[in-house]
Amino acid sequence: MLLAIDIGNTNVTLGVFCEDKLTFEARFATRRERTKDEYSFELLNMLSLNAIQPADITGAVISSVVPEITFAVGGAVEIVTGCRPLYVTAKGKTGVTICTDTPDQLGADMLVGSIAAIEKYPLPCLVVDLGTATKLYAIGSERTFLGCTIAAGVGISVKALTSGASQLPAFSIEAPETTICTETMKCMQSGTVFGAACMIDGMIDRFEKELGYPFASIVATGGYSIPIVGHCRRKITTDYDLLLDGWRIYYTKNA
């Protein structure tokens, strides 16, 4: 079995694959102050809850955008499973040509997302990642990472709104019945959900105008993709496990 771990700014996501089938997926909060031993305890619990024995794990791969805890999590993997993890980097075998000014600085999440999109969807492809940050990145027909945009994520925007305005309450991220609302909480839901959907539609239009051609596929992933993407006017495929598949493919290419 392959253990795949994505260290994000908000959550650490892990999945276990049996060959190319995802056996389970779990998340726990990213805590920069945690030690290797604490992450070992968390990992062991997650495996146990899903009836996976540490000895069943024969390989591990880690993708991280939080450098300060990357090796603490990697050390936890070694303690629990006995496997030395493979770390995702642009220097590995990816099958992606990175056409940016600083290829080595491409985030591991966008790299594995590109790897999976190339394998799973028609090119050219646009990936919309709605996580801690909202990221849109374009993949050309020649398996090239062409570039991206990065904006504050939906959750960050909501937190800033409710913490910075005394009379605005906390609210769930879901769409109201109408865009024009007459109750404060629904007004905030409308602005958040429909506003994010319009931003995505508008950015897709700008991407296609600058590139000079339409995308053959548009794929959304990330924790906020479910409440947002259904309200976009463009046809967008939601693939919640896109990054997990990217880790598996990267491991297959490099193990």
> Cα(129)–Cα(238) distance, rounded to whole angstroms?
10
Checking if the pLDDT of 167 tops 80, the result is no
Question: What CATH class does 97-242 carry?
Answer: alpha beta
Can you give the pLDDT at residue 255?
80
| Residue whose token pair is 């570039």 | 147
Query: Active-site positions?
Result: 109
For residue 53, count CB atoms less than 10 angstroms from its CB and return exposed for 0-12, middle for 13-18, buried for 19 or more.
Answer: exposed
The arrangement of strands across the sheet holding 2-7 comes to 21-29, 11-18, 2-7, 59-64, 86-87
| pLDDT averaged over every residue in the chain | 92
Cis peptide before 214 (omega within 30 of 0): no
**Plot region of 218 (φ>0 → left; ψ -120 to 50 → alpha; else → beta):** beta
Checking if the pLDDT of 33 tops 90, the result is no
Angle between helices 67-81 and 36-49 in degrees, nearest 10: 60
Helices and strands, number each (H, E), in the chain: 7, 11
Q: Which residue has the higher pLDDT, 13 or 238?
A: 238
Q: Which residue has the higher pLDDT, 165 or 199?
A: 199
CA-closest candidate to residue 58, choices 7, 18, 92:
18
H helices present in 82-139, as ranges: 108-120
- List every span in the chain annotated with CATH 3.30.420.40: 2-87, 97-242
Per DSSP, 239 falls in state: -
The whole-model pTM stands at: 0.87
> Cα(199)–Cα(178) distance, rounded to whole angstroms?
18
Q: What percent of the chain has pLDDT over 90?
A: 65
Question: What CATH class does 2-87 carry?
Answer: alpha beta
Condensed to tens digits (0 to 9), the pLDDT of residues 92-130 reads 899 999 999 998 888 889 999 999 999 999 999 999 999
Q: Which residue has the higher pLDDT, 146 or 25?
A: 146
Q: Residue 138 forms beta bridges with which residues?
A: 126, 147
